[in-house]
Amino acid sequence: MRRRLALVPALLAAACNQVFGLDPTTLRDAGPAIDADPTCATAPGGEPDEDRDGVRDACDPCPQLDEGGDGGGDQDGDGVADACDPRAGAPDQLRAFFGFADLERPGELTYRVDALSPGTDWVVADGDLRIDNLAVDSDALAELQVGRKTVTIDTIYRLEIAPSPKQGIGVWASIDPTSPDRERPRGMVLIVNTLSDVNVDPTLVMSDWVTPLALTQPMATGAFAIGARVRLVLRCEDEPAPRCLGVAHDLIADQKYGLDTSTQAAVPTLRAGAVGLRAFAVPAVFEYLAVYVDP
């Protein structure tokens, strides 16, 4: 069932260029605006600024990552900085970026929590998207319509409360809009979970929900423990052949885990649908959501 988003106003800090003594000519990675904001050319600084580099998200070619002082580079000329370009050498567009610092793009995300957790809502607060108090076996989904088969979803999750076994957190791409269960829809999912009845150590799973396609890789315990901070990137492309690649980067341990559907015979079913953030019975915090599509 659909839940209404509970909005908590974020306390915005002083503009980053003021804090660090920067002016518009020395901002870290000022470049082409991602939102066709006419003020970016003259006033690129301000809030919200997810990566704290002095360029507000609407003007930043790589809003989730400070690329350094060289502008980040853009070798394929698609307007997405090399540091965060999901497909170097191929054209991409930043379809949407949510820093969860304010009410950016209101109404685009659809928030769902299943009936097992009555009264529980997603909450935007202090630059994060949060979900808490999910019951056992309860699912929550924040969904964004994209209507493309070639899509990349990028986020960072944190765990601030020690999770118990049989939980999971991840991202969904190529969501089937005709799925009868909207909280657990059909589609490609990349998830870190402890759902095994035998082994509660975290496992990175990429699967075509609900088909036989499933790839797994064991992860270190810290990737799903209190204090965990993990970047998840799921890329699905339709050309030259249907393929999905998933990467989990444990930012605390600086360890990466990757899965690629091209390593097995099963082919992912890619749909012109939606993407989403998923929490399964776990108190999860998402720092941002970046979605890229082909032009």
| Over residues 39-68, mean pLDDT | 78
* pLDDT score of 177 more than 50: yes
Instruction: Residue 73: count other Cβ atoms within 10 Å of its Cβ.
Output: 16
Q: What is the pLDDT of residues 193-203, one digit of tens each?
A: 998 766 678 99
The pLDDT of residue 92 is 82
Average pLDDT over every residue of 181-187: 91
Rounded to an integer, the average pLDDT of 159-170 is 89
How does DSSP classify residue 267?
-
252, HSE (Cβ side, Cα atoms, 13 Å): 14
Per-residue pLDDT at 68:
63
Count CB atoms within 10 A of the CB of residue 221: 12
The residues spanned by each domain of the chain are 109-293
User: Helix, strand, or coil here: 200?
Assistant: coil
* Confidence (pLDDT) at 71: 52
Q: How confident is the model at residue 7 (pLDDT cuts 50, 70, 90)?
A: very low
* Cα dihedral: 42, 48, 50, 51 (round 10): 40
Q: Tell which CATH classification among 3.30.460.10, 2.60.120.10, 2.60.120.200, 3.40.109.10 matches the domain 109-293.
A: 2.60.120.200
- Rounded mean pLDDT of 154-183? 92
HSE, side-chain direction, 13 A CA sphere, residue 210: 5
**Confidence band for 221, pLDDT divided at 50, 70 and 90:** very high
Residue 108 scores a pLDDT above 90: no
Task: Supply the Cα-derived Rg of the chain in whole angstroms.
Answer: 19
Is the model's pLDDT at 97 over the cut of 50? yes
CA triple 63-255-239, angle to 5 deg: 60
Give alpha helix (H) positions in the chain. 16-19
